[in-house]
Amino acid sequence: MQQKSVASGLVVFICFLIAAVEGYDIQAFGVAAPKLAPELGLNPSQVGWAASVAMIGLVIGAFAGGWLADRTGRRPVLIGSVVLFGGFSLVTAATHSFDALLWARFATGLGFGGAMPNLIAVAVEIAKPERRAATVAAMFCGMPVGGATAALIARLAGEGLDWRAIFIAGGVVPLVLAPMIYLLLPETRPAADPNADRNLMRALFAQGRAAPTLLIWAAFMLTLVVLYLALNWLPTLVIDKGLPKSEGFAASMAFNVAGVVGSLLVGALTDRLGWRWPLVLAYLALGAAMAGLAAAGASLPIMALSAAAGFLVMGAQFSLYAVAPMLYPAQLRGAGAGAAVAVGRLGSIVGPLIAGELRNGGFSPGQVFLTMTPVALAAAAIVFALARTARPAE
């Protein structure tokens, strides 16, 4: 039993590192953009497309990666995905034109998308039933760790940081991880059943699963609207409230670091109490935190509320990851999780765009934060409805 526990811990750690690379890359593009844009001659619209195209690739990769892994195995698809996003992060560092940058970022997103549903499926399949949410949360709290690392590097390096070096680091690490995955990660996909129904549409929508599928897609999407608006806009909105730039970076750090703590604690509560009430209460509290950020003007409450928002939104999202695959038959667990990740990621595209359009329309930073309160409350209602309709497929 102890040997099995150690092996499971090693698997979680490897997957944690993969998630950390994604979190690093998401933050790294924002860090690199101020120097990348003038060097490549990009206008703001082109920078926006370069940021968004990676998320478009991620949506496609999540659908394809989950579906493919259910047929060929988690490990080969995970290795291929990691090599893809590592290799094209290096290609990003070597680009000298807008078109090349777009293709490099799109391919990087494909790799991230292919990895994500398989990380979720691996976590669910290696964890004890009473530890599933905590295991998934421990794995995915690598994302805020990676994001915080990128923000910290940017703050320490200052103006001397070469934007190409940011992507080189983000490419080398996953390529080093790939052989570790091959050597150390066990295949967790259930043994193939020749009589199993592998039709994805029936898996998602047949036998009473239509309502849970649509509800979990909506919950993922609304959560990621809030999360990615904060990841992309929190420093800017804090600075636009009249605080110095250092406070904007500090708010981002507080959001990411508290997100790690929230991932672990909300995951543990979800395993202990069931997922309905911990997640519903987390979303209700998130709505209150966003309203508080809208009203706050001083540094201390803004830092505290930024930390609270990170704690709640990441804790809820990463615990929800543990729910998604269990709604579907074992032979289509990856595809079901991939569909939820892919549809949910539309929220990661929409969230930053909402903030930009609201600011262009004359909304104050506080008003932008306040628009996220009804989004969080809607997510609470959807999770409550999901808990009443979901029937685990295991």
Max avg pLDDT among 217-226, 234-243, 328-337 = 217-226
- Check: CB of residue 146 under 8 Å from CB of residue 137: no
Residue 4 has pLDDT above 50, yes or no: no
Which pLDDT belongs to residue 154?
73
Closest CA to 280 of 133, 388, 384, 373: 384
Query: Please, what is the Cα angle at 67 between 28 and 170, to 5 degrees?
Result: 15
Mean pLDDT estimate for the chain: 87
Query: 75-127 pLDDT, tens per residue?
Result: 999 999 999 999 999 999 999 999 999 999 999 999 999 998 888 888 888 88
What confidence tier does 39 reach under pLDDT thresholds 50, 70, 90?
very high
Crossing angle between the packed helical segments 346-360 and 210-240, to the nearest 10 degrees: 40
Residue 203 has pLDDT above 90, yes or no: no
- Check: CB of residue 220 under 8 Å from CB of residue 343: yes
Average of per-residue pLDDT across 249-261: 87
As a dihedral over the C-alpha atoms of residue 211, residue 312, residue 109, residue 80, rounded to 10 degrees, the angle is: -80
The predicted model scores a pTM of 0.84
Average of per-residue pLDDT across 17-34: 82
Tallying the residues shown for the chain, one arrives at 394
Average of per-residue pLDDT across 192-197: 66
Percent of the chain's residues with pLDDT above 70: 94
Residue 140 has pLDDT above 90, yes or no: no
Which residues, at least 6 apart from 132, have a Cβ–Cβ distance to it below 8 Å?
123, 124, 271, 322, 326
Burial 83-110 (b: 16+ CB within 10 A, else e): bbbbbbbbbbbebeebeebbbbbbbbbb
- Check: CB of residue 16 under 8 Å from CB of residue 138: yes
